[in-house]
Amino acid sequence: MIKKNPELVLASSSRYRRELLERLGIPFTAEASDIDETSREGETPVEACQRLAVEKAKWVAAKHPGACVIGSDQVADLDGVRLGKPHTRERSIEQLLAMQGHTIVFSTALAVIAPDGTVREKLSQTRVKMRPLTRETIEAYVDREEPYDCAGSAKIEKLGIALMETVESDDPTSLIGLPLMALTTLLTQSGVTVLPGLKA
C-alpha cells in the first residue's frame, strides 16, 4: 500500500515553477511568501539565491505545519553582478545588451522543508553563452516575448533560446526556474513519494 503524501506547498507565485512542478503529477498548492528579496551587503549572487530559497520556504512553512514546502530562487550572475527580473522593457533591453557575447551563470537554489521541519537544500547552476546581438535584435525579441518576469530577461523555453549560443547545465529544467531532478531527490528524502520504490 502506498503511503499518503503529506500536504505539498510550493512557496512561489511563479507560473513557470507551477507548470514545472505539475510535471511530477503530485497534488500541490502554491502560496507566495512575503519576504524582502534585497541582497545583503557583501552577499554574492549565489549566496543571496540560496538564502532566499530557504527564507521563502520557511515563511510559507510557518503557515502550514506538517506540510512539505518547496522554496526556490534564481539569480543570473554576469561577472559577479546579480541580474534580477527586469520588470520593464527598458531594463530588459539594458540587461540583454550587457549580456550579449558573455557567459552568464544562472543559479537556481532549492530548499525543501520536510513535515518534521528538516531543511534540505540543493543548488543547480546553468552556464549560458549569449550570442553577439545588435540592439535591433534585442528590441525585437523583447517586444515579442516581454520577458519582464525572468531573471536575465531570457526565456529558454520560448524564443529566448535564439539568443543563446550554448547552454551547459546539470538539470534541463533548472534554467526555467525549478530543477526537477534535484527536487525529486529532496522530496523523496523528505518523505514525499514521487514514484513508488524510488530511492533518493
**Of 34, 73, 116, 149, which one is the catalytic site residue?**
73
Q: Which of 191, 180, 186 is nearest to 18 (CA)?
A: 180
Q: Given phi > 0 = left and psi -120 to 50 = alpha, else beta, which region is 153?
A: left
d(CA 29, CA 44): 31
Identify the residue whose cell numbers are 553563452: 129
Q: Which of 33, 35, 26 is nearest to 8 (CA)?
A: 26
> What own/partner pairs with CB < 8 Å and gap ≥ 24 does 38-42 have?
39/82
Q: Clarify whether 170 is annotated catalytic.
A: no
Copy the grid coordinates of residue 65.
Answer: 505545519
Is residue 115 a contact partner of residue 190, using CB atoms and an 8 Å limit? yes
Strands 119-130 and 103-113 turn out to be: antiparallel
Is residue 21 a contact partner of residue 9, using CB atoms and an 8 Å limit? no
d(CA 156, CA 164): 8
Residues assigned a catalytic role? 73
